[in-house]
């Protein structure tokens, strides 16, 4: 066999291996797309059940051009989430057909009462509070100008003054890779801009506090990570300077391992858009108000029951004879953040991903060469 024939065979072998790899990648992409399309939070799933039950939508999400403003982790609440999609409408397009898509803004009585219809079938802990017609190219995610989160917490023994001064260090544009859960496969820019960060009492309470964080966009778990570090500062376990150290990704390319703040007190409060005016019929608004008041009373009743249980403890006496002689549980000492084990840096994660892809490719080539032999 001459050199030209060997070259042709070699090129055919490589072409075949590339074709095989392309098919594998297409199959993986289809699998991931399927997973993403079915992997939704409960609230999102319930919303689509309600939309389908009321026949406000037809087809799947791709046909509906569905988008959502913010992603909330399991256990995180939202009172300002915004989603966009094509809905059945009483309005007519220029051609004269009833549109299942964009509706022109007009009097409320000329359109379906979306709020009333959906709230009639949604679970008690999920409610629609308003709707608004939107431009054709509107995206709830990419058209959002800013998002605002609030995080509730108890004052307890925290140094609020130190926390207030420390949170201001997070304002502005920074690389927040040390304040998030890194997704090196899909996210390559970790710079985000925080426009305001405040700590204040909740509704005048001297014990219940809240953090209010506003920014153009946020990374995965970013708010909970920032809150966790601020708690360490407020407890006197870390210096406020640790925030500057973590924001300096040149000096600190690897994130120290630390626990995020709990998810339950976190609320997506508000999503800002230009030119959108949400509306709600008077009937739907009244029904929504009555529902929320009922839910508040139910939770207050539960709180009263637990309060009564606490008070009942005062009627019992400690029995010293039954005191346990067992050794008390040892309280673990605090390990400074910068002395803790670290997670892989972004570059290390990318190198590992690249190596994995190259290893799979070499495996395919080796299999193809074996077939040629």
Model confidence at 106: pLDDT above 50: no
Phi, psi of 174 (to 5 degrees): -140, 165
How many whole angstroms separate alpha carbon 75 and alpha carbon 196? 24
Q: Is-catalytic flag, 73? A: yes
26-40 burial by CB neighbour count: b if 16+ within 10 A, else e? eeeeeeeeeeeeeee
With vertex at residue 371, the alpha carbon angle to CA 367 and CA 373, rounded to the nearest 5 degrees, is 115
pLDDT in tens, 173-199: 999 999 999 998 889 999 999 999 999
47-61 burial by CB neighbour count: b if 16+ within 10 A, else e? bbebbeebebbeeee
DSSP single-letter state for residue 147 = E
CB 149 within 8 A of CB 268: yes
Reported pTM: 0.77
Architecture of domain 145-272: 2-Layer Sandwich (3.30)
Confidence of residue 90 (pLDDT cuts 50, 70, 90): confident
**Residue intervals in the chain for CATH 3.30.70.660:** 145-272
Confidence of residue 39 (pLDDT cuts 50, 70, 90): very low
Q: Which of 2, 3, 63, 73 is catalytic?
A: 73
Confidence of residue 301 (pLDDT cuts 50, 70, 90): very high
pLDDT in tens, 202-234: 988 889 999 999 999 999 999 999 999 999 999
**4 SS3 class:** helix
Model confidence at 121: pLDDT above 80: yes
Structure token pair of residue 195:
């426009």
């Amino acid at each position: 066999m001459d050199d030209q024939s060997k070259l042709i065979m070699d090129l055919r072998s490589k072409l075949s291996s590339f074709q095989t790899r392309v098919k594998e990648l297409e199959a993986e992409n289809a699998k991931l797309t399927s997973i993403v399309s079915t992997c939704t939070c409960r609230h999102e799933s319930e919303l689509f059940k309600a939309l389908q039950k009321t026949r406000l939508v037809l087809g799947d999400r791709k046909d509906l051009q569905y988008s959502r403003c913010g992603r909330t982790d399991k256990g995180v609440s939202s009172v300002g989430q915004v989603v966009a999609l094509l809905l059945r409408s009483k309005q007519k397009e220029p051609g004269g057909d009833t549109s299942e898509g964009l509706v022109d803004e007009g009097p409320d009585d000329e359109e379906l009462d979306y709020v009333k219809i959906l709230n009639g079938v949604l679970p008690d802990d999920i409610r629609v509070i308003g709707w608004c017609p939107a431009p054709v190219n509107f995206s709830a995610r990419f058209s959002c100008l800013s998002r605002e989160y609030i995080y509730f917490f108890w004052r307890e023994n925290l140094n609020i003054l130190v926390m207030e001064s420390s949170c201001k260090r997070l304002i502005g544009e920074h690389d927040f890779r040390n304040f998030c859960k890194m997704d090196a496969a899909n996210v390559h820019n970790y710079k985000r801009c925080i426009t305001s960060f405040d700590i204040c009492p909740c509704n005048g309470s001297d014990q219940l506090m809240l953090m209010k964080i506003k920014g153009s966009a946020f990374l995965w778990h970013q708010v909970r990570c920032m809150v966790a570090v601020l708690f360490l500062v407020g407890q006197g376990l870390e210096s406020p300077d640790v925030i500057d150290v973590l924001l300096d990704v040149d000096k600190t390319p690897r994130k120290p391992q630390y626990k995020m703040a709990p998810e339950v007190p976190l609320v997506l409060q508000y999503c800002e858009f230009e030119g959108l005016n949400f509306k709600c019929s008077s009937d739907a608004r009244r029904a929504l108000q009555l529902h929320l008041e009922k839910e508040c009373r139910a939770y207050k009743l539960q709180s009263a029951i637990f309060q009564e249980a606490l008070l009942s403890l005062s009627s019992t006496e400690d029995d010293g004879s039954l005191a346990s002689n067992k050794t008390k549980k040892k309280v673990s000492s605090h390990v400074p953040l910068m002395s803790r084990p670290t997670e892989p840096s972004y570059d290390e994660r990318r190198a590992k991903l690249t190596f994995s892809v190259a290893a799979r490719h070499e495996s395919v080539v080796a299999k193809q060469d074996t077939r040629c032999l």
